[in-house]
Structure 1
Amino acid sequence: MAHWNEIDNISEKLLKKILLGENKADAIPSQEDHVRLTDKYKNWNALADQSKKVLKYDANKAFQKLQFQKYRRRKIITGWSIAASIVLLLSISIFFIQEAPEVIPVSKIEPGYKKATLTLSDGTSWDIREAVQVIQTKNSELKIDSSGLSVHSNTIAPPQEETQYHTLNVPRGGEYNLTLSDGTQVWLNSESELRFPSQFDTNNRTVYCKGEVYFNVTRNPESPFIVKLDKGEVTVLGTEFCTSDYKSSVVEVTLVTGKVQFKAGNGDSVSLTPSQHLVYNTTNDSISVTTVDTRVYTAWKDNLFCFEDETLENIMHTLSRWYNVDIYFESEDLKRRHFSGTIEKYSNIKSFLEVFETGTGIKFDIYGHKISIRQLNK
């Protein structure tokens, strides 16, 4: 380990190079140097500002210099030793901390808003928000305004004609809703996607979706409405329900009103009645159905997030999609802790987390768009 007098010696040289702006690391400062320093750096702010401008610190090089610096005696100059002590503190801080990450104000974390990308069947894409737009296609008219996207078609596609599908993609920190050509209303949560036709054929109404999507289907006994998922499909006549497949090995269907039939990828099928929640685990091909408070699974459509005996990991995943933040856990144990609560979708996330911290022994540290979760020491 290097002696303090060696570190002091190096710090003195570094300070001379910074403040004098010359290569005088091996020279003893002259009276002229002292005068120049006194005139130019009369206060601490000037010294700090100059250090920031010219100090390009190479930690590896400095460490090598500390290791191989030859021991030698030098004449102690009081003025220089005091200054060297100051720069020593700066050097040590830079050596161990380097450049501290900028902490962006919490106000920069904003809730999501209405936004999506619409890709037409011909491959053209549109970035859509709430501004009024009208997009003409071969058989329909797509209208965009503050209420969302609506598809208008005056004809029904002949059975022999290939159905052309458009894609609505909602990113992290976004949401969107649309009305299909048959009047069916659809709400898409963050990180969700819906493929839909500009017009349905006479035999069936089929759409494809990913993520979390809520449907209010217009009843038509002669034309069943089919929602195709990656790992299954839902068939309905007229009803309200929600599908979710955020997790790669799990599909969830929550029925609010009416009746639906779920068909799993392995061919098994189950019919649901109102207030039932289905979970299909593709890992072991198991299907479970429970009676639930549907509001917990559908409140996001009504600008709320409801959590009931939910793991902290799942709660934070939901918030990360909506507020577009990255989540880091200090330990696996924290992920498995269960909580209940409700948050308005458009509220300040900091306020919610502060309430969440009360009495839980958990601390949420916010750094820009990153949230670190740790257990407070007891």
Structure 2
Amino acid sequence: MAHWDEIDGISGRLLKKILLGEGRDSQEDSGRLTDKYKDWDTLAKQSKKALKYDANKAFRKLQYRKYRRRHLMTRWSVAASIMLLFSLTIFLTQESPEVKPVKKIEPGYKKATLTLSDGTSWDIRETAKVFQVKDSEFKVDSCGLSIFNNAIAPSQTETQYHTLSVPRGGEYNLTLSDGTQVWLNSESELRFPTRFNANNRTVYCKGEVYFDVTRNPDSPFIVRLDKGEVTVLGTEFCTSDYENSVVEVTLVTGAVRFKAENGDSVSLTPSQHLVYNTVSDSISVTTVDTRVYTAWKDNLFCFEDETLENIMRTLSRWYDINIRFDSEDLKGRHFSGTIEKYSDIKSFLEVFETGTGIKFDIYGHTIIVRKSR
């Protein structure tokens, strides 16, 4: 067996040949490292600095091992070990890039922003709180936001409004001071007066909103939409005007009158669904299963002979995701189905794929809809 001194010498000569180019014919190759490292002491010091390697401490540990040798490691082998570790560190860093976990697609939840008439904004969710604003009390709990105010605004005063806004991936419940209950779906907004006046109760809304109006024959409840308005005495109905060119009103109970921006008006009876197309300036009324249009407030999405484009648009608002269609002809295909609002969207999509010839590819928060191969 070779002596450690001999092994030491061999490793030193080999390292010189590899790093400093000794023994090569090309002067250019041999000088690549020698210009930077004039001697071995410099090389060893630089290596130790790069890895914060305590060579003396390592030597002391090795001296107590079973096979003690005075020259077990010289500075040559120390440098070789350091350079080897340094190379492995670089290699492993390059070969193993940091992999960031993909955030799971989560369903929406109760969240909204309340902007008061003075411009003050409150981020309200399910955290219980009670605060006073002039003559109104605002109470936030797990049921939503409730407003208590028995005062009636004088007819001569200018009406001031609060605004409740629900973002994508959110929903919220509101009880107005007259007892009217309001459910706001994702990307919806309700603007309501700080105090109702004696003649009417007028609110403004965008998006999709469900109303359960407290009856008051002396003060009709009026919902102003972007392209029309709904007048009621006491009833349950739903409005939707997500699209700029379409306004929808679905009546559950009672009676309402819809008035278009052009002055045309139509009265609805229970289970009727109105669609006002602002482009063609036309109104159509059909009898429907109202659950299809109102189930969202009961934590369900019901789709009946609905286009895939509209289905995915509804899901995109609730799950706060982006939708891309690989083929335009897929958008117009019609489907029916029901999904629980708080369920995993992947489970729904997997069931939806069965026998439809459609595939949903999920990339982060983007879903690509394509034909299955």
The range that moved more, 124-133 or 166-175, is 124-133
Which residue in 2 is equivalent to 1:334? 330
Deviations 1:63-121 (A, max 9, x none): xxxxxxxxxxxxxxxxxxxxxxxxxxxxxxxxxxxx9x96715xx11100000000000
Give 1:250's aligned amino acid.
Answer: V
Structure 2 match to 1:51? 94
Partner residue of 2:289 out of 282, 287, 293? 293
Deviations 1:116-151 (Å, cap 9, x if unpaired)?
000000000000001112221222111111111111
Is the contact made by 1:187 and 1:215 (CA closer than 8 Å) also made in structure 2? yes
2:313 is paired with a residue whose SS is helix
Offset of 1:53 from its aligned partner?
8.2
Offset at 1:254?
A: 0.2
Match of 1:373, SS state, is strand
Does the aligned pair in 2 maintain the 1:151–1:198 contact within 8 Å? Answer: no
2:265 maps to amino acid: S
Instruction: State the match for 1:23 in structure 2.
Output: none
> After the TM superposition, which residues 102-251 of structure 1 pair with which residues of structure 2 at under 5 Å, given as runs?
104=102, 108-251=104-247
1:359 to 355, 362, 367: 355
Equivalence for 1:64: none
Q: Give 2:265's aligned residue.
A: 269
Which residue among 341, 347, 350 is the counterpart of 2:343?
347
- Structure 2: distance between partners of 1:172 and 1:250: 20
CA distance in 2 between counterparts of 1:138 and 1:315 reads: 43
Residue 311 to residue 132, structure 1, CA distance change in 2 (3 Å): same
Report the number of matched residues. Answer: 303
Counterpart CA distance in 1 for 2:306 and 2:129 is 40
| Residue identity opposite 1:366 in structure 2 | I
RMSD (CA atoms): 2.7
1:52 Cα deviation after fit: 4.6
For residue 305 of structure 2, the aligned residue among 303, 306, 309 is: 309
- List gaps (5 residues or longer) in structure 2: 1-18, 20-26, 34-76
Task: Give me the TM-score of the superposition, normalised by structure 2.
Answer: 0.76
SS in 2 for 1:352: helix
Residue 102 and residue 340 in structure 1: after superposition, are their counterparts in 2 closer, same or farther (change >3 A)? farther
Q: Do 2:167 and 2:187's aligned partners in 1 also have CA atoms closer than 8 Å?
A: yes
Unaligned regions of 5+ residues in structure 1, if any? 1-19, 21-25, 55-98
Read off the aligned partner of 1:312 and give its amino acid letter: L
What is the aligned partner in structure 2 of residue 280 from structure 1? 276
Distance in 1 of aligned mates of 2:339 and 2:314: 11
Distance in 1 of aligned mates of 2:328 and 2:28 = 57
Corresponding residue SS for 2:179: coil
- Looking at structure 2, the residues matched to 286 and 311 of structure 1 have their Cα atoms a distance apart, in angstroms, of 21
How far did 1:40 drift?
A: 3.3
**1:111 is paired with a residue of what secondary structure?**
coil
**CA shift in 2, pair 1:207/1:29, >3 Å:** farther
Summarize the Cα distance change of 1:374–1:155 in structure 2 as closer, same or farther, 3 Å threshold: same
Whole-angstrom distance in 1 between the partners of 2:156 and 2:293: 39
Q: Secondary structure at the match of 1:109?
A: coil
- The alpha-carbon distance between structure 1 residues 53 and 316, as it changes in their structure 2 partners (threshold 3 A), is closer
User: Would you say 1:40 and 2:84 are equivalent positions?
Assistant: yes
- For 2:102, the aligned partner's letter is I
Work out which of the two has the higher radius of gyration on C-alpha atoms and give 1 or 2.
2
Change (3 A) 1:141 1:331: same
Matches of 2:133 and 2:342, distance apart in 1: 35
